[in-house]
Structure 1
Amino acid sequence: MNLLCAIRDRMSTKLVVLLGLIVGLIAVLIIMPNVDGSAFGEAVSQAVEQPFGMAVALAGFGIAFIFRAVAWRRILPQLPFSHALSAIHLSLGANHVLPFRLGEPLRILSVVRRQRIGLEAATVSTVTLRAADILSVMLVGALVAPSAFFSLVGIVGWVLLAGVLLVSFFGWKWLSSVAQRRADVIMPGPAVLFLSVGAWGAEAILVRQAAMWAGINLSWSEALLVTTVSVAAQIAAIAPGGFGTYEAAAVAAYVVLGYDAKPALIAALGAHALKTAYSILVGVVAVFTPAPSFIGRFRLGKVNQLDTNPVLDADAPILLFMPAYNEEEAVSECIERVPPRVLDRPVEVLIVDDGSVDSTVDRARKSGAQVVELGQNQGLGAAVRTGLEIGVERNAAAVVFCDADGEYPPEELANMVAPILDGEADYVVGSRFLGRIDHMRPHRRFGNHVLTRALQVVARQKISDGQSGYRALSLDAARNAEIIHDFNYAQVLTLDLMAKGFRYREVPISYHFRTTGESFIKLGRYLRNVVPAVYKEINAV
């Protein structure tokens, strides 16, 4: 609905933002020297001394958006009123901090993301309502003061009206087509246009109050004219909040009505300041309420634990798999340390080779382990995902994995699987910090503590070791586990299983830092991959 959208779409986002900020700065440099400081101070004093008038002005502005939310629900009746109002306020707030009205798409994105409204339904309803808004602005301006309104907007106004009518026509056809195909979209009646007109009337309350503080006694029809002219100019807004275009159009309307330009500028600045303050404040609130938040969750929701007591096959094995990447120096010793049986069940050893280019595969096979080769290096998350799938295929009593670098003790396998075989847990993590740590570099110890505390907050669960590489899953947990990225598994696997209600348990293990090979973990790369994956995980459940 912006006349500058074609230009905006041809420019990069950075260039658009920079241009908008430059135009805003130029507007400030032009406008501020023309403001009568003492008169502006007096207007501010009047506003402060009249809290009731301030409340009336802001209430009128707020009512305008209530009308628009009601109008939106006339087209999308399944859209809750609270989310309609929130989406409108979200885009309003963004438009007051972003140039070129870049906040407009947030209105659509909000209801699509938070209420699962279809993108097509959200878009066509928004386009139709914005067209109705602008058409009602033109109608109100033309009705209250036709000669003044069109003398102010001039030929641009007629072109604008023609453009709005054209957009309204195609928007209406599009809406009609969608409404025929979708039961959740309804063709609006005349009430939508009346609500749009009422919204501009409610906004005029704020404009009239700001004028009174500046010493201008506007009539209601004059307040409507100033409102419609300044809003019509906002269609071509470049600077954040349309600063500059709003003031210029409003002052021009005041002058045409016979008022002096200096108090008119103060009235325009006062009205715009109130609108901006309301828009940003309420826009920030709209980011977080109503639930779910627009930016998503940062913690898991509260989940009831599953009551799982599966009957295990008497001959079901324990599968211990080790993801490996270039671990030729350590893999054989790791395999040899695995006990052949634990808790009266046979142990199968599997190496999931993640594209090693050394002799890891040959040495693993010579040591008696089965080997699955991924072919090329895909990442630890992909290797663990493969091992879990194989464990499910083999109907294992428990699926366990640890690194093939010698840091974790395969001989402590019985402690890892006991809670699962006893029916006390579905997901067991071997905690280094509950057990014995023979050696860990100080910066690794510190990083583990920080990341574990963060995971503990996100998961709403007491956790002592969020990055442990020694874990055991029940067959059901392994079957339902999802690892959403290939880079790593630690946090996302824990969050995934907790969100699904699987019972979590930690057991103490011994740990010694690797003496061969090289760790793939580098803090910067780790955080760049893990943090977005954690955010995605907690917002996927």
Structure 2
Amino acid sequence: MVTSRRWRLPKGSPARWRGRANMSGKPAAKAALQAAGLALLFFSAWLTYRCFDGRQMLHHLSRLVSRPIEMAAAAFVYGLSFWLRAWAWKRYVGKPIAFSVYWRAVLLSLFVNHLAPVKIGDAVRMALLARQPGVSASEAIESVAVMRLLDMAVLGGLTVIGMYAYMHYIPRISLLAAAVAAGFVLTVIVFRRPLRLDRLWRRWRSVFHGWSGAAMVGAVAASWLCEAAVIGVIAKAVGIPLSFGQAVWANSATVSGQIAQIAPGGLGTYEAVMGFALTTVGAPWDVAYMAAVLTHAFKFLFSYAAGAAVLWFWRSDWQAVRSVWRKERERR
């Protein structure tokens, strides 16, 4: 077990940084995302009303239970996706800190995001890393923000490729919005922290130089390809024979849609976006809805099991989770 110092939310801590960032012109963007989330939630409710069939759901569940090897393989590959993200994060930070710290932080981030109505998992990752010896709050914030930007870039690229391949459409407005969002996050990193652009640029040139940088980017990309395996297995069980590329497209579009999350784990938004993505590759709405619900249920179970395991073996990590959760509630 890794011993660590208590997280005290000092000046420059993730929770305080989140608070300052939220005062810097975000209300309009936040309101737009909440409106989009509500629209997707209503659409998901309509899908539930039109497409939910209890008998069919039990039938598909029984089919999944009868395939324990495939489901175990899907769980392993899904877990591997988070291992790869933790590995890339450790390589970026570049400090002699046990890999288990990054691995636990990523899994607890997933766990918290499936419990809280808003995504505060990244703040948990920052808090856990900042508790380690030799890591400042600003370094923790920067590393998590950069990893998130890398995630967004890979997901955005996969989503655009999928839209062109399966919808014959390139979303120019969406690409512009994504570029603006990425620029905003980068601006917050540079100017809201004691971190200057030249310093950040020198660090990125050092970290992402050569094979080391390619390995980090490759690990993040591979993690999203691994996550698509879950959709592939479940879609096959409900009667949607997805190709690997189609599974990657459905996963990328669905996860990208979670930017409008307004319920724990993206309930509603996940089902609506995945249902739409699966229909673009030929699945009927009722079958696509079933696949989305079962896939999301699988991810909920995985996140709870992984989070419970981490908190059982590293109970001190609960202090960081509680601290972030309490600060988020106070901020609201």
- The worse-fitting range, judged by mean Cα deviation, of 134-143 and 154-163 is 154-163
Count matched residues. 284
Corresponding residue for residue 10 of structure 2: none
Corresponding residue for residue 102 of structure 1: 120
Deviation of 1:23 after TM superposition, in Å, equals 9.1
1:174/1:293 CA distance change after superposition, 3 Å? same
CA contact (8 A) 2:80 2:223 kept: yes
| Higher alpha-carbon Rg | 1
Q: Deviations over 1:251-270 (max 9, x none)?
A: 11111111111111111111
CA contact (8 A) 1:287 1:295 kept: no
Matches within 5 A, 1:129-528: 129-148=147-166, 151=169, 154=171, 157-167=174-184, 170=187, 177=199, 187-188=207-208, 189-290=213-314, 292-295=316-319
Q: Deviations over 1:388-422 (max 9, x none)?
A: xxxxxxxxxxxxxxxxxxxxxxxxxxxxxxxxxxx
SS of equivalent residue, structure 1 residue 101: coil
Identity of aligned residues (%): 25
Deviation of 1:141 after TM superposition, in Å, equals 2.6
Amino acid at match of 1:80: A
Structure with more of its chain in helix, by fraction: 2
Q: Deviations over 1:274-298 (max 9, x none)?
A: 11111122123223444743428xx
CA contact (8 A) 2:45 2:268 kept: no
Deviation of 1:43 after TM superposition, in Å, equals 1.1
CA contact (8 A) 1:114 1:294 kept: no
1:24/1:92 CA distance change after superposition, 3 Å? farther
CA contact (8 A) 1:141 1:229 kept: yes
- The worse-fitting range, judged by mean Cα deviation, of 188-197 and 48-57 is 188-197
CA contact (8 A) 2:41 2:272 kept: no
Deviation of 1:41 after TM superposition, in Å, equals 1.3
Amino acid at match of 1:187: V
CA contact (8 A) 1:287 1:294 kept: yes
Deviation of 1:205 after TM superposition, in Å, equals 0.5
SS of equivalent residue, structure 1 residue 100: coil
Corresponding residue for residue 32 of structure 1: 48
Unaligned runs of 5+ in 2: 1-17, 29-34, 321-332
| TM-score, length basis structure 1 | 0.47
Q: Say yes or no: does 1:73 pair with 2:93.
A: no
Amino acid at match of 2:219: L
Distance in 2, matches of 1:22 and 1:145, equals 23
Deviation of 1:150 after TM superposition, in Å, equals 7.6
Amino acid at match of 2:104: S
Deviation of 1:271 after TM superposition, in Å, equals 0.9
Amino acid at match of 1:32: T
Amino acid at match of 2:125: R
Structure with more of its chain in strand, by fraction: 1
Amino acid at match of 2:64: A
Q: Deviations over 1:477-497 (max 9, x none)?
A: xxxxxxxxxxxxxxxxxxxxx
Distance in 1, matches of 2:181 and 2:216, equals 16
Distance in 1, matches of 2:138 and 2:219, equals 23
| TM-score, length basis structure 2 | 0.74
1:245/1:6 CA distance change after superposition, 3 Å? farther
Distance in 1, matches of 2:143 and 2:264, equals 25
Computed over aligned residues only, the root mean square deviation of the Cα atoms, in angstroms, reads 3.6
Amino acid at match of 2:183: L
Corresponding residue for residue 471 of structure 1: none
Deviation of 1:224 after TM superposition, in Å, equals 0.5
Corresponding residue for residue 44 of structure 1: 61
Deviation of 1:120 after TM superposition, in Å, equals 0.7
Higher relative contact order (CA 8 A, sep 6+): 2
Deviation of 1:168 after TM superposition, in Å, equals 7.1
Q: Deviations over 1:367-407 (max 9, x none)?
A: xxxxxxxxxxxxxxxxxxxxxxxxxxxxxxxxxxxxxxxxx
Q: Deviations over 1:467-486 (max 9, x none)?
A: xxxxxxxxxxxxxxxxxxxx
Distance in 2, matches of 1:243 and 1:104, equals 19
SS of equivalent residue, structure 2 residue 260: coil
CA contact (8 A) 2:102 2:129 kept: yes
Q: Deviations over 1:119-169 (max 9, x none)?
A: 111100100010100110111233355253684x94652234323542576
CA contact (8 A) 2:41 2:268 kept: no
Corresponding residue for residue 425 of structure 1: none
Distance in 1, matches of 2:312 and 2:167, equals 40
CA contact (8 A) 1:108 1:119 kept: yes
Distance in 1, matches of 2:146 and 2:152, equals 10
Corresponding residue for residue 63 of structure 1: 80
